[in-house]
Amino acid sequence: MVNKQGQTRLAQYYEWLTLEERRALEGEIVRKCLARNEQQCSFVEHRNYKIVYRRYASLFFLVGVDNDENELAILEFIHLLVETMDRHFGNVCELDIMFHLEKAHFMLEEMVMNGCIVETSKANILTPVQLLEKT
Amino acid sequence: MAMHGMRGLSVFISDIRNCQNKEQERQRIDKELGNVRNRFKNEKGLSPYEKKKYVWKMLYIYMLGYDVDFGHMEAVSLISAPKYPEKQVGYIVTSCLLNENHDFLRLAINTVRNDIIGRNETFQCLALTMVGNIGGREFAESLAPDVQKLLLSSSCRPLVRKKAALCLLRLYRKNPDVVNVDGWADRMAQLLDERDLGVLTSSMSLLVALVSNNHEAYWSCLPKCVKTLERLARNQDIPQEYTYYGIPSPWLQVKTMRALQYFPTIEDPYTRRTLFEVLQRILMGTDVVKNVNKNNASHAVLFEALALVMHLDAEKEMMSQCVALLGKFIAVREPNIRYLGLENMTRMLMVTDAQEIIKRHQAQIITSLKDPDISIRRRALDLLYGMCDVTNAKDIVEELLQYLSSADFTMREELSLKAAILAEKFAPDLSWYVDVILQLIDKAGDFISDDIWFRVVQFVTNNDDLQVSAYILGEYSHLLARRPGCSPKEIFGILHEKLPTVSTTTIPILLSAYAKILMHTQPPDQELQSQIWAIFNKYESCIDAEIQQRAVEYFALCQKGAALMDILAEMPKFPERKSSLIKRAEYSEADTAEQSAIKLRAQQQPSNALVVTDQPPANGATSPVPVGQLSLAMVPSMITTEDHTSTDPASSQQNGSLTKVDPQHPSADLLGDLLGPLAIEGPPGATVQSEHNAVSRLEGGPDAVDGSAIVPVEEQRNTVQPIGNIAERFHALCLKDSGVLYEDPYIQIGIKAEWRAHHGRLVLFLGNKNTAPLVSVQALMLPPAHLKMELSLVPDTIPPRAQVQCPLEVVNLRPSRDVAVLDFSYKFGTNMVNVKLRLPAVLNKFLQPIPVPAEEFFPQWRSLSGPPLKLQEVVRGVRPMPLPEMANLLNSFRLMICPGLDPNPNNLVASTTFYSESTHAMLCLIRIETDPADRTQLRMTLASGDPTLTFELKEFIKEQLISIPTAPPQSPAPAPAPPPAAQATPQIPPNDPAALLAGLLS
């Protein structure tokens, strides 16, 4: 997740990369995606991977997938994440994610594990997050 | 406990947000890191709350791209905290910061297991998630049975079981034996009856992983998948929470159809019928709606259904329905649908009989080649490439050529490669082919890779229609002479224009072509003749033996006149084999759609106009590179020219064009090794060796011994050709810690390394790329005297498509630049392959950059006075580079540049810590003074508390500054480099400010 200045706001990897590799990779794909306009498709090929991305106001959500994924399903999964955050924060914005990085991480962790989808029901995703607030 | 409870953290984040620039951000982060480091030093005084706060800060800093090399232990220790909030942070941050080979992770294995088998289900979830994200082989061995039990347990709640399913998937990938349990497939099938959609979604991902490896064992799951799909798509029998814009979990539908695509067929008629009914419903019932999300979700399901229909090779009627849909998609306004339409149409090419219907859309596809979106253009190019055959080759290739002049630079090489392959395969006649190739050279000469050059040569010489001949490109003039713009002189002009930018291996071919053009020009053209003779003359003293020999021979031949035509005409035929271009295309991209197009390409019949004859090579040589054979054809003249072969360094220097060779090699990309299959980077071995020779020659003196000691490592006696350049891979791995060490058609050896003080832990990943096992696998370590190395047992056999991990422990005993070698061999079929690979356990891996403030630097620098602890040397023949680049280079070797210490902006001061058993942690200080007027020389001063370390590190840095891994052997450095003695006296004039400062500093 990056803002339109290219600053990373949330990053989660399911394959280990060293810090240098991550920096370089993020730089490359963010440059590629930010340069695109609304009339272009949401898929960018990068090396052997594909980036599926979606823009919400000042925030870009980028997901790197291999060639075995259904692109549109990923695109809507991004939207599901945004709707889930919306339900929790109420009109989620960049600042919510910055200052509640831990919650953003928890939600993502409830939705994705090891690069696979684990849950798609917003209620089920948010239960553990709310549990944490009560403690 | 939320973050707003952590005030310090909020303040820190605000500060970061308010930073005006990167430099401010770095300063703020350095301050924070120092703060956290200090707090952790006195861990006992920290409350769990404080620990949690600092660990979040670390994660935040790490996310922003800064190295956080401490505090890992604290993050891991939070896992064993008794309370949920701390424990959760421990688990999440650990899985972000550490990787599976981290030692600390192994320490936590028992805590993790206790959480998994414990009764607290929120703890179970946390532990399962972390293991699912970063669990390694050891986790697989000790936790698999517990995780399986949770997944199958009837008393366990879905929230735990769904995580257990994906955790097991991770463990299975680390060790496939975890599901080698009796009756596992049946339990898997039972699992698919699950009512809870979360558990079902996770289990379906697990199933996809299992069937993709071995569908035979899971036939019983097939009807269950169909039933699941029916439940979702037809009966819509799922809770409201799982419908997304009215569509029953599109993700589970997609995953289920993906699983079905791993079964080759569906034999049971009932199951098949049910499935086709569902698919038919999806194909017919998906409408375009206004709501973007609903539209995307329904089309996600539709595209997956299309893929499944194609896979099942349905009846013709359904197929044409699919093509019709795709035809509609590639013409819509919505760019995503257009993109996916093209991508799926390319997959469709694999289906029998589909090609003809797809051809009807050719005009639309060609329009997409000019789409404003590069993603769509690429798909269109792949599709055109895949659908090309004898009937439409002319149109398609001409479109590609036309597009070539306006195409983005990033696409030109691929475009020209594809155009060349298609032209070769489907040319209706030879003159058309030659015409295409000439246009290619004209329009995209700079983007044409060596492979195309080689292939053109190989192709033309192989062709029966050209028996007259061995004159390769010279032949073109013969065929095209009557056309305007195709006179011998003009063709020569086109070719010669490219000479300065082609690689050393291509120059000989061009020289041959010149000779042939010249011989073929009747009546002789005096001007052309003198031009070409002058070129031969120039290369007669070339440093490259092959080029030199050609030049000398051709020059001699030309003098003798037309009688020698016969010698050149005796060209042996090349054996027919898979076009090296197609091989290259296979490596250049691993895209599935792309690969299907290539596979199809390989199956299709080429046109008859240009059949390459299948004839065994006359001389028995099997090298795919034609150069060797070409030179064999010239044996008779070699004897007469032998005395000319001595090289003359002085005149080779005048040859400006040679120093610029080889700009087309893909630049060493940071991530190339990790993320991509590597493009072929030219034959390894020869160039690399000569490069090393050049380096050791340059260094002279005591270094020559070290330099030559590593040369034989690249020796290849195998018939199996490595993919990629071994030396370049090694050099890349010297700078980074993971990547590919070696690859050939059968095996890929990857490496991951972690370095901690004088210890290193490497893991070799031996991946069998084939469907047959690799046997007699042997790995022998040849460590240099200063490294203690222990390689764990390497199995004798690597099963098909399996990856074996072999940990290797390294201990650095003392400073040395010697390199460890891995002697690796295996057998595949009748091929015995043996390679000796240098391992990147090199000196800089035992360095840890450390900033040294001025008040510490100067006393240290002064206390280490003079040899042997402080050495100074003037280094010449340095690769000229701007100062920031040199700083980056040093940084990449873990030498930390300390800006501001040296008042002279032309100088660099750096510091680092070296770790070995004999020296322990030892501080090293480096100062490099450059001369802005002459970037090829510099003065280097090195100081440390150990004389050997000082010397070895100095030599090491020197090697990095002089040589470049990809430099051409004939580097512009002064050829007879003055052998720099170990301690040369400074030769900088006394009025040089740098020298004055040196006096102050030393």
* B839 and B730 housed in the same domain: yes
Given CB atoms, is B332 within the 8 Å cutoff of chain A?
A: no
Interface touch B258/A76, C-beta < 8 Å: no
Residues from chain A contacting residue B676 (CB–CB below 8 Å): 47-48
What is the pLDDT, as a whole number, of residue B508?
74
- Position B859 pLDDT exceeds 90: no
Mutate to test the interface with B, among A13, A38, A109, A110 (most CBs of B within 10 A): A109
Hey, what are B983's tokens? 């301690």
* B837 and B738 housed in the same domain: yes
> Are the C-beta atoms of B938 and B931 separated by less than 8 Å?
yes
Most confident range, picked from B459-463, B471-475, B575-579, B778-782: B778-782
* B742 and B832 housed in the same domain: yes
- Residue A13 distance to chain B (closest CA, Å): 8
Residues from chain A contacting residue B249 (CB–CB below 8 Å): 120
Give the confidence band of B452 by pLDDT, cuts at 50, 70, 90.
low
What is the pLDDT, as a whole number, of residue B654?
41
**More confidently predicted of A25 and B724:** A25
Interface touch B293/A99, C-beta < 8 Å: no
Interface touch B589/A113, C-beta < 8 Å: no
* B825 and B892 housed in the same domain: no
pTM beyond 0.80: no
What is the pLDDT, as a whole number, of residue B561?
61
Give the 3-state secondary structure percentages of chain A, helix then strand then coil, rounded to 5: 50, 20, 35
Give the residue numbers spanning the domain of B940: 846-961
In whole angstroms, what is the distance from residue B221 CA to residue B223 CA? 6
In whole angstroms, what is the distance from residue B540 CA to residue B592 CA? 48
Give the confidence band of B943 by pLDDT, cuts at 50, 70, 90.
very high
Interface touch A120/B252, C-beta < 8 Å: yes
* B742 and B833 housed in the same domain: yes
DSSP states of B430-467 as a string?
Answer: HHHHHHHHHHHHHHHGGG--HHHHHHHHHHHHHBGGGT
- Residue A67 distance to chain B (closest CA, Å): 6
- Position B598 pLDDT exceeds 50: no
Interface touch B671/A44, C-beta < 8 Å: no
| Residue numbers of A between 16 and 75 with CB closer than 8 Å to B | 16-26, 28, 36, 39-45, 47-49, 67-68, 70-73, 75
* B734 and B834 housed in the same domain: yes
Of B63, B133, B338, the CB nearest to A14: B133
User: CA of A39: which chain B residue's CA is closest?
Assistant: B335
Q: Which of B548, B580, B612 is the last residue of a domain?
A: B580
Residues from chain A contacting residue B241 (CB–CB below 8 Å): 121-124
What is the pLDDT, as a whole number, of residue B982?
41
* B537 and B522 housed in the same domain: yes
**More confidently predicted of B964 and B945:** B945
CA neighbor of B191 nearest in space, from B212, B218, B215: B218
> Are the C-beta atoms of A31 and A23 separated by less than 8 Å?
no
Considering the domain boundaries, does residue B9 fall inside one? no
Mean pLDDT of B747-758: 87
Interface touch B242/A120, C-beta < 8 Å: yes
Q: Which of B818, B843, B868 is the last residue of a domain?
A: B843
Per-residue pLDDT tens digits for B540-560: 888 788 888 888 888 877 776
Mutate to test the interface with B, among A63, A120, A126, A132 (most CBs of B within 10 A): A120
Give the residue numbers spanning the domain of A70: 2-133
CATH of the domain at B793: 2.60.40.1230
3-class state of residue B843 by DSSP? helix
Interface touch A113/B197, C-beta < 8 Å: no
What is the pLDDT, as a whole number, of residue B807?
85
Residue B53 is assigned to a ligand binding site: yes
User: CA of A71: which chain B residue's CA is closest?
Assistant: B300
What is the pLDDT, as a whole number, of residue B577?
43
What is the pLDDT, as a whole number, of residue B5?
57
Considering the domain boundaries, does residue B74 fall inside one? no
Considering the domain boundaries, does residue B813 fall inside one? yes
Considering the domain boundaries, does residue B823 fall inside one? yes
What is the pLDDT, as a whole number, of residue B902?
82
- Residue B832 distance to chain A (closest CA, Å): 31
Mutate to test the interface with B, among A5, A45, A70, A134 (most CBs of B within 10 A): A70
Element (DSSP H or E) covering residue B776: strand B775-782
Mean pLDDT of B414-434: 81
A48: Cβ–Cβ under 8 A, 6 or more apart, which residues? Answer: A66, A67, B589, B590, B591, B675, B676, B677
Sign of CA dihedral B609, B615, B617, B620: positive
* B777 and B882 housed in the same domain: no
* B957 and B858 housed in the same domain: yes
Considering the domain boundaries, does residue B735 fall inside one? yes
Considering the domain boundaries, does residue B805 fall inside one? yes
CATH of the domain at A64: 3.30.450.60
**More confidently predicted of B960 and B456:** B960
Give the confidence band of B636 by pLDDT, cuts at 50, 70, 90.
very low
Interface touch A16/B100, C-beta < 8 Å: yes
- What percent of chain B clears pLDDT 90, i.e. is strictly above it? 25
In whole angstroms, what is the distance from residue B521 CA to residue A14 CA? 63
> Are the C-beta atoms of A30 and A6 separated by less than 8 Å?
yes
3-class state of residue B484 by DSSP? coil
Per-residue pLDDT tens digits for B668-722: 333 333 333 333 333 333 333 334 443 333 333 343 333 333 333 333 445 678 8
| Residue numbers of B between 613 and 672 with CB closer than 8 Å to A | 670-672
- Residue B372 distance to chain A (closest CA, Å): 8
Mean pLDDT of B429-439: 78
Per-residue pLDDT tens digits for B149-191: 999 998 999 999 999 999 999 999 999 988 887 789 999 999 9
Interface touch A101/B56, C-beta < 8 Å: yes
Per-residue pLDDT tens digits for B19-75: 888 899 999 999 999 999 988 887 677 888 888 889 999 999 999 989 888 888 888
Given CB atoms, is B706 within the 8 Å cutoff of chain A?
A: no
- Residue B726 distance to chain A (closest CA, Å): 21
What is the pLDDT, as a whole number, of residue B891?
86
* B852 and B771 housed in the same domain: no
**More confidently predicted of B489 and B97:** B97
Task: Give the least confident one: B630-634, B700-704, B764-768, B866-870.
Answer: B630-634
Of B63, B201, B299, the CB nearest to A118: B201
CB atoms within 10 A of CB B343: 28
Hey, what are B39's tokens? 């707090």
What is the pLDDT, as a whole number, of residue B445?
62
Interface touch A47/B676, C-beta < 8 Å: yes
- Residue B239 distance to chain A (closest CA, Å): 10
**More confidently predicted of B607 and B672:** B607
Residues from chain B contacting residue A18 (CB–CB below 8 Å): 736-738
**More confidently predicted of B213 and B406:** B213
* B869 and B929 housed in the same domain: yes
Residue B489 is assigned to a ligand binding site: no
Based on C-alpha coordinates, what's the Rg of chain A?
15
| Residue numbers of B between 510 and 529 with CB closer than 8 Å to A | none
Q: Which of B821, B843, B865 is the last residue of a domain?
A: B843
| Residue numbers of B between 171 and 200 with CB closer than 8 Å to A | 197-198
Alpha helix segments (H runs only) across B761-898? 854-863, 883-892
Based on C-alpha coordinates, what's the Rg of chain B?
33
Mean pLDDT of B304-330: 88
Residues from chain B contacting residue A19 (CB–CB below 8 Å): 62, 65-67
Interface touch B59/A39, C-beta < 8 Å: no
CA B483 to chain centre: 44
Residues from chain B contacting residue A47 (CB–CB below 8 Å): 671-672, 675-676
- Residue B227 distance to chain A (closest CA, Å): 20
Give the confidence band of B887 by pLDDT, cuts at 50, 70, 90.
confident
Per-residue pLDDT tens digits for A104-127: 999 999 999 999 999 999 999 999
Angstrom distances, CA of residue B670 to CA of A28, B104, B964: 11, 28, 16
> Are the C-beta atoms of B793 and B804 separated by less than 8 Å?
no
Beta bridge partners of B740: B750
Interface touch B3/A100, C-beta < 8 Å: yes
- ipTM metric: 0.97
Domain count, chain A: 1
Residues from chain A contacting residue B60 (CB–CB below 8 Å): 101
User: CA of B376: which chain A residue's CA is closest?
Assistant: A41
| pLDDT averaged over every residue in chain B | 76
Domain count, chain B: 3
Per-residue pLDDT tens digits for B966-984: 434 444 444 444 444 444 4
Interface touch B335/A11, C-beta < 8 Å: no
Output the CA torsion A15→A21→A23→A28 (10° steps): -90
Residue B539 is assigned to a ligand binding site: no
- Position B635 pLDDT exceeds 80: no
- What percent of chain B clears pLDDT 70, i.e. is strictly above it? 73
- Residue A32 distance to chain B (closest CA, Å): 11
Of B65, B132, B202, the CB nearest to A22: B65
* B864 and B774 housed in the same domain: no
| pLDDT tens by residue, chain A, 135 residues | 998 888 899 999 998 888 889 999 999 999 999 989 888 999 999 888 899 999 998 899 999 998 889 999 999 999 999 999 999 999 899 999 999 998 999 999 999 999 999 999 999 999 988 877 766
Per-residue pLDDT tens digits for B616-631: 334 433 333 333 333 3
CA neighbor of B199 nearest in space, from B242, B139, B244, B159: B159
Given CB atoms, is B676 within the 8 Å cutoff of chain A?
A: yes
Residue B826 is assigned to a ligand binding site: no
